[in-house]
Structure formats: structure tokens, C-alpha cells
Structure 1
Amino acid sequence: MVRLSDIALAPLHAAQMLGVIARVPRLPEAAGARAGSCGQGQALRLLVLGDSSAAGVGVAHQDQALVGQICVHLGRMHHLDWQLCARSGATTAGALRLLAAARAPVDVVVLALGVNDVLRQTPLRRFAAGQAALIDQLRAEYGARLILASAVPPLGAFEVFPMPLRAHLGRRADALDAELQRVCAARDGVVHVPFDLDPAPHWLAADGLHPGAALYAEWGQRMAGLASRGVS
């Protein structure tokens, strides 16, 4: 539902967003390989798919990023063939296009999407339909046994955004995440993974928006644990 206050404040929101873009440093994607193998144990094929957070923006190398941290922990129990398909700025619709570069089949998929859908004001129904299409394609065409869908981050808690823009983005993020939860709940083998960490500065990169090394480490360990339990 469109709020009248959001319509009235739209010019201010736009001006504040331009200020954020001008002020916040643009960080590169993490360096390093985007496919490989590691670990020992039962074979498992892993795909990480998503936006700048999946691409490792906020740290220097993929070893420190989401896919690297998943491999550190999951590789203790499994021999992993892993691949990363991610791009800064990717929306859910963009992820569907990125998926074309992924090798099939896969066993476990980790999704990290939603922030750019919030920022680009993707309508709720379109977001839900896109997530459903992406998840269904991963299951039907890539054979995914387990899909771990990271929650849309609670942008209302990120102080890099000034008020009232922050409150507006927070409401949008919460609404999109509710749709993501609904899509996940309707499908077997699909798990919505909540974002339940306070986005305090020590968790974040220099831009105050992307994960820092500590947050990637926590996120990767959490996803590895869910993946191990989900396929055992």
C-alpha cells in the first residue's frame, strides 16, 4: 500500500538519496576466484547468487567474503565444488539473468538479494513473482536440494541513510522481506534466513552499508551450518 506521507515526502527522499550517493564511497567487488573446489567429505555443489553483498563488496578478497566464509566452515564436512554468480546493483530480475552463467546441477544455493529492489522501488508483486520464478528455476532446472534465501536487510536500521529516508526504506525492506518469507514458506527445501544482527559500525564496511569482514564471517558460518543440516 502506498502511504500518502511517502508521496508527499518523495522529493525529499530523492534529494536525500542523491546526498547518500555523493557522500558514500563506492567500494569494489572482492578480488579472487569465482569458482573452485575445497574441503573433504561428502561431495556437495554450492552456488552463491546475488548482489554486491554476494560479490564481497566491503572486503578485499573472496576468502573474506560470503562464499569464502561458507567454504571455510562447510568444507570441514564436505568436498565442495562451488561457484559465485553475483554483481553489484543486481535486483531479483537481474539475478535471473546472472543465473544463466551458472553450471548445473547444484545441491545448495545461497541467495543474497533485495536491497536493490528496495532502492529501485520494485513493486511488491513483481518482487514476489521474481523471487518465485528464480527459486522455481533453481529447483526445476538446476536440481537445487536446498535454497537458503537471505532476508532483505532492515534498511531502517542503517544509519548511513538520513531520516526520513531511512524510515521509508525500512518500511519498503520490511514489506519485501515479508513477501520473500511467504514465497519461501510455500516451497519445500527453501529456507528464509532472518537478518537478526544489529547493523552496528563494527559489523559494516567503510561505506556503512555493506558487510565488513566480521559480518561476512558470521553470515558465512550461519549459512554453512544451515546447509550442512539441510542436506544431511
Structure 2
Amino acid sequence: MWLKTATLALIPALVIQGSRVQKNTIRLPEPSGERKGITGQGRPLSLLILGDSAAAGVGVEHQQDALLGAMIAELKHQYQLHWCLEAQSGNNTAQVIHQTQKLSNQKYDVVVTSVGVNDVTKLMSAQKWIKQQQQFYQLIQDKFQPELIIATGVPPMHLFPALPNPLAWLFGQYAQQMNQKLAQFVAQHDAMQWIEYDIQKYQSMNLEMAKDGFHPSKEIYKIWGKDVADRVLAWF
């Protein structure tokens, strides 16, 4: 309730700052590169990435430097990877669900997700958001029968360089509440794991975000991809 009250109180500032951020933030394209293929040697393992701009790799120029490429680089020596990326910049959870519904039913061993930032920018409540997540992950289970689902948390948006306060603070509060709900949901499912998008850790390593101040850089994608790969290697 307090967050809703704070949101209403900050509406004038949010309108002004939101307009400025939209006007001044660099618009980065999705990276080039294949989004489906087979790579590596070893036991077959199928991977599917679903989500928004971070899943799609915005912030780098080629998929080899994005989340997909980082995962492949870490796993290709242990597995023959059958990989697929289905993500689009700007998509919120409802749009990701819609795009996923259009995909063919197919078995994937691992599904990795990244979604939520575009729900935060619409000031969606955590209660409504987690209901959409429940629908999303049930859809994933029904369509792809994965052995493991790895859900990436919503980034701590109060640390995004592109966002001024109080807009950054407010987005950070929404993201925090969403992550609390997501962590609780994941903990209830044995075949799910949660990865925290830890900008403070990246900053402590002197790593910067992409030049738009909103998306991961090559170095951050590499750490994210290794984190996913470590979970996969431990699971299988």
C-alpha cells in the first residue's frame, strides 16, 4: 500500500523524468547473429532463452557477446548444445507470454528466462506481476517440459545509470518487491532456480553497464552466462 501511495505522490516528477529519460537515453538495437543452432561436442543438451531486451542481448553488437554466446562458450566443451533464443526488446511479461504461446511444443532440457523491467516501467504491482509469472512458467512447463528452469531476477533498477532519482528509487522499489515474490515462487518448485542480477557486485568488480546505462555490457553478460552454465553443470 505504501508503494502505491508513494507512486501517486511522485506522479508529477515521474512524468517529467520519464519523458526526459525516453528522450535522452540511447536506443541500442538487438545484436546480430544466429538465434538457433547446434554447437559443441558431448552429450546432447537443449537450451531455450525467453524474455526481453536483456535476454535478446541488447547492449552488445553480436550474440556471441550476449547471454546466449556466454552460455554457449561455457557449455560447448561438455555438451552438444541445441540452442534457441526467442526474445524481443521492449517486451513485458504479457508480451513474452504471447510470443511463447506461438512457439511450437518442443522438448528443451533447460529454459532460461529474463523478464520484468518493462513491467516495472509500467508500475505493475508485485501481486499482479507474480500472477503473470505463474502463468508464464506453467506455460513453459506445458510446452517445453524442461528439466530445469533458470529465472533471472529483475535488475535493481535504482542502480541503473540512465535513471535519475526519484524515478530510479521508485523503479527500484517495484523491482525489489517483484524479486521477493519471484524468489518465493521459485523456492516452491524443485526444478526451478533463481539468479540475482547483482549490479552492486558488478560495480565492485569495476564493471560498467552498456553505454545506454540500461542494459548489460559484454563483461556482465559473460558473468551472467557463466552463472547460468554453472547451474546447468551442477544440475546435469
- What is the deviation of 1:89? 0.8
How much does 1:92 deviate? 1.2
1:228 and 2:212 are equivalent in the alignment? no
- Cα deviation per residue 1:166-220 (whole Å; 9 max; x = unaligned)? 1111101101111111221121201111122325483311101101111011111
Task: Give % identity.
Answer: 34
Runs of 4+ in 1 over 6 A off after TM superposition: none
Letter in 1 for 2:233: S
Offset of residue 4 of structure 1:
2.5
Shift of 1:133: 1.3
User: Contact conserved, 1:85 with 1:102, CA < 8 A, in 2?
Assistant: no
- Residue by residue over 1:124-175, the C-alpha shift from the partner in whole angstroms, topping out at 9 and shown as x without a partner, is 2221111111111212221111000001100011232111111111101101
Q: Give yes or no for contact 2:156–2:199 (8 Å, CA) kept in 1.
A: no
User: Tell me, what secondary structure is at the counterpart of 2:161?
Assistant: coil
Name structure 2 gaps, 5 residues minimum: none
- Of the candidates 149, 153, 156, which is equivalent to residue 154 of structure 1? 156
Q: Which moved more, 1:195-204 or 1:94-103?
A: 195-204
SS at match of 1:81: strand
Match of 2:36 in 1: 35
TM-fit CA distance, 1:123: 2.6
Aligned to 1:227, the other structure's residue is in SS state helix
Aligned partner of residue 180 in structure 1, secondary structure: helix
* Partner SS, residue 141 of structure 1: helix
Q: Is the 8 A contact 2:33 2:62 kept in 1?
A: yes
TM score, norm. by length of structure 1: 0.95
Asked whether the 8 Å contact 1:139–1:145 carries over to 2, the reply is no
Structure-to-structure mapping, 1:74-153, within 5 angstroms: 74-99=75-100, 100-101=102-103, 104-153=106-155
Unmatched 5+ stretches in structure 1: none
Scaled by the length of structure 2, the TM-score of the pair is 0.93
Stretch of structure 1 that moved more, 179-188 or 196-205: 196-205
Residue identity in the other structure for 2:220: L
Q: Give me the whole-angstrom Cα distance separating, in 1, the residues matched to 2:155 and 2:126.
A: 16
